[in-house]
Structure 1
Amino acid sequence: MPEVSTPPSARMPLAAADTYSLCPVFTILGVVFSGLMVLYPFYLLYVLGEAHKEVVAPFHCETSYGVWRIIHVSHLLLWSALLTLGVFCYPRRLERDAEYGEYLYMLMGFTITVPFDRILDARPSLFGYVRLSTSSLPFPLFFRPCVGADVFLKDHSLLMESLEGRKPGGYGATLAAEAAQTVAVAASVAATAIAAGDSASGGVAAAVAVVAPVVATAASVRLAASDGSSGGTGETVAAAQG
C-alpha cells in the first residue's frame, strides 16, 4: 500500500514563539498625556494660582490658590475617565494557543479571543503595527509586536500554511469515516447478540433488534457523505460496507 505523502507545510513548526511582547507606542502616549492632564488642575490651582480681577475700586488683580470651580472639576473627571480607560485597555501581550486554535490578545483589564479560522486578513500598518481583520469582531485589531511586524507576519503565514496542511479531507470524508465506524460497531454488536442468545433463532432475532437502529443511522450518515463529498468518499463508504 503506498504511503500517504505529508505536505511540507504540515511538517513545519507552527511559529517561532508562543508569546509576543507588545510595544504599544500610541497607547503609551495616550496614557502619559491623560495622566498629565489629570495633574494639570492641581498644578494650576496649587502652584501657579489663578488671577481674579476685582470688579470694584481699586480694580486690582488678586491671585487665589486652591479655589475649585466647575470647569476644574469637569476637566478632572473627563481626563480621569480617559486615563482609566487607557490603562484598562493597555495591551500587554499576544499569545498563541495552538491547542484551542486561537490568538489571545491580552489587555490589562480583559482578553480578546481571535480564533484562527475567523482571521480574514493580516497585514502590516504604519509605525510597526499589524492590522488583523477577523469575522468575529466588528473592528480590526491593531498591535505592535516587539519582534517587528515582518517577523510576526512571517510566523502567522507559517501557522496558516501548517493548519491548511493538517486539515482533513473535507466534510464528506469525515462522514464517510463515521459511517465506516458505525458499520463496524453494528457488526460487533450483532456478533455479541448472536453469541449471547439462548438458541440460534433467538440470537439472530436479538441481533436484528439491536443492529436495526444502528444500520439506519449508518445509512443516514452514508447518504450525507455521498451528498457532501466526491466520488472517492463514496468508494470509501462502499468499502466500509463490504
Structure 2
Amino acid sequence: MYELDHIVHFVRKPEKTMEEMKTHGFHVVQGGQHEMWGTYNTLSYFDLTYIEWIGINDEAQFTIAASQPYTLHETYAKKGRENGFARIAIRTTTIEQDAQMFRHAGLEVHGPEHFSRTRPDGSVVRWQLLHIGQPEQRLDFPFFIQWEAEEEARHAEYKALNIIAPHPKGDLKLTEVIYFVNRLDYMKQLQKLGKLQAEEHFDDKLNAMKYTLYLPNAKIICYCAQGEGEIWDAILAEGLGIHAVVFEGASQPETIVCENATYILK
C-alpha cells in the first residue's frame, strides 16, 4: 500500500525556517545530518506524514549527490537550486517488488538503496529509497521510501520524543498536495501501476484538466492547463511542480508563503 510519506521543501537555512514556521503555529523539530548527501533538515509531523525543510551544509558532498539520476538532489540542481517544494516521497512496504514492477514497465530504476541519518541525540534512523524516471520527462516522479521500523513503533517512538506533538495552530492534517503539470501521463502511469483510485474532469473556470490521485492519507491533485487561464498563467510564472500543500483543522484559515512555497491552512 502506498501512502504520502513526506514533502521536501529546500530552504536556505532549515533552522531559520523552523523558527518562522513556529510563529505560524506549526510544531517543528530539529532533524539531523545527511552526511552522505551534504544536507541537514528540520521537520514538522502530521501523524507520520511530514514536511521536511532541507538545506545544504557540505557543497562538495551535495554536488556528488546531485549527479545521481532521478534523485531529490538532482531535481534541486536542475532547478538551479531555486528554493521551494521539490518532490514528494511515497511510503511503501514492498520496495523490492516495486523496483521490479517499475523496471518491467520500462522505467529507469535506481535502488532500492539503504540510507541513515543521525539525530541530534545520536540515535540513528534508517530507511531505503527507490528512484524512478524517464530521460525525457520534465516533471520528476515521486520517489519511494521504506522505513526500517514498523509504523506503530515509529509512531510511538516519535510521540515519546515529542517529534509528533500537537500544533499550536490546531489539529492540523496534511490533506492535499497540488501540482501544476504540463501532462498527466506520468501520474496516470503511477496510478495504473500502483492500482490507485483516481478521477479526472475538466474545470471550466480554470480551463484545465484536474486529475486527483487518492492515497489512503492524502490527495495528489494535478492541474494541466488546456489553454490560457489561471493555471496557464501560474505555470508561466511559477513553472511546473508542486504549487501548494493544503492542511485542514486550523484554528483559523491562513495562507503562508515561505521561500517560494505555499502552505494553505483551512
**Pair in the same fold by TM > 0.5:** no
More strand as a share of residues: 2
More helix as a share of residues: 1
Decide which structure has the larger Cα Rg and report it: 1
**TM-score of the aligned structures, taking structure 1 as reference length:** 0.21
